[in-house]
Every structure is written in C-alpha cells, then in structure tokens.
Amino acid sequence: MTKFEDYLEGIVNIYHQYSVRVGHADTLSKGELGQLITREMANILKQSKDQSSIDKIFQDLDADRDAQVNFEEFVNLVFTVLLTTHDNLHKPC
C-alpha cells in the first residue's frame, strides 16, 4: 500500500473509531464528533474545542438534518481542514 493509501485508510479508520454507537455504527453523533475533533484535530482546530463551536460545526456538516454526521458529511470537514492546512503551509513565515 502506498503512503497516500495508508493516509486515506487512516482517515476512514479514525472515523470508525468514533462512530461506535449500537445501531448507528456508521454515523457520528454530536458527542462523537466533538470527541473526534478535540482528540484528533486539537492542533488544527484550536478554536473549536468549546461546545458552541462543536455545535456549529455539527450543524454545518449535518446536511440532511438527521442529527447525525455520516461519512460523506464528515468528508466535508476533512476537505475544509485539508484546504486550510495547505494554505497555511504556503504562508510566508
């Protein structure tokens, strides 16, 4: 497996690590998303550790308004974080 493929698999595995509720094993609740953000994205989303920020992120991601974030909706967060990271890497020191 290539390094890129490893990274992609890692994102999927982290998503599944937090989507553990019985009966909803492939979606994230607001609490699960909050845990994922605070544990896995702490350095990237520093300002998003408080509950109101997590509530806003959850609301923005939950496109179908079913009170859960599925993998496709979660990928939007990954996409946004990836773009921000890319932009930050190109900023002058």
pLDDT, tens only, 47-76: 666 788 889 999 999 999 999 999 999 999
Would you state the pLDDT for residue 92? 83
Per-residue pLDDT band for 5 (boundaries 50, 70, 90) equals very high
The alpha carbons of the chain give a radius of gyration, in whole angstroms, of: 14
Higher pLDDT, 50 or 81: 81
The mean pLDDT of 18-28, rounded to a whole number, is: 85
Provide CB contacts within 8 A for 69, sequence distance 6+.
27, 28, 33, 58, 61, 62
3-89 has which fold? Answer: Recoverin; domain 1 (1.10.238)
Would you state the pLDDT for residue 88? 86
Would you state the pLDDT for residue 64? 96
